[in-house]
Amino acid sequence: MYGATKRANELMAHSYAHLFNLPCTGLRFFTVYGPWGRPDMVLSKFTGAMLRGQPIRVFNHGRSTRDFTYIDDVAEAVVRAMDKPATPSGTFAAATPDPAISSAPFRTYNVACGRTVPLMHYISVIEQCLGVKADIRLEPLQAGDVPDTTADVSDFARDFGFTPSTPVETGIEQFVKWYREYHRV
């Protein structure tokens, strides 16, 4: 359902672009993390549990990978996209459509680092930053989840001259610093 609702939003935006010539640019964010992140996301959940000495549930038996994107990189991408509204593509071909472009002023872009990070490495970085060893409970892949994500960010890099690049080691360190200050732990 999660992916279907995202795609439905893109289709509605495309319809508005087509019907009303309203420039619409969709940004597909990949596993955003950092200070002030949602408390239900894995970085916050794992950090809190590890500091409390509680186990963490790691799905797909720890074999998943993600294209993690630090919040500062996401903010930079949004600012760059705001300054360049979508225009109709001169290369759109109805016979062989590319869902990222259109004859309407519509575009979609992936916003990510464009590289995968094994979830177990991500956890080890959290451990290093916290100085705490995680009590890991390996579990099967959850229904509806995908084992791996990696974004092709070449279109965004070409059109906006920017590719997110904050390594997880730096991003998690910044998150842990914020988490400890905010939660006073």
Catalytic annotation, residues? 2
Cα-based distances in Å from 127 to 48, 53, 79: 12, 12, 33
Instruction: Please name the helix (run of DSSP H) or strand (run of DSSP E) that holds residue 81, with its range, or none.
Output: helix 71-82
Residue where the block lists tokens 């906006």: 160
Of the candidates 79, 77, 59, the residue with the CA atom closest to the CA atom of residue 142 = 59
Contact criterion met (CB below 8 Å) for 129 and 79: no
Of the candidates 120, 126, 131, 158, the residue with the CA atom closest to the CA atom of residue 46 = 126
Instruction: Please name the helix (run of DSSP H) or strand (run of DSSP E) that holds residue 65, with its range, or none.
Output: strand 65-66
Residues in Cβ contact with 5 at an 8 Å cutoff, skipping those fewer than 6 apart: none
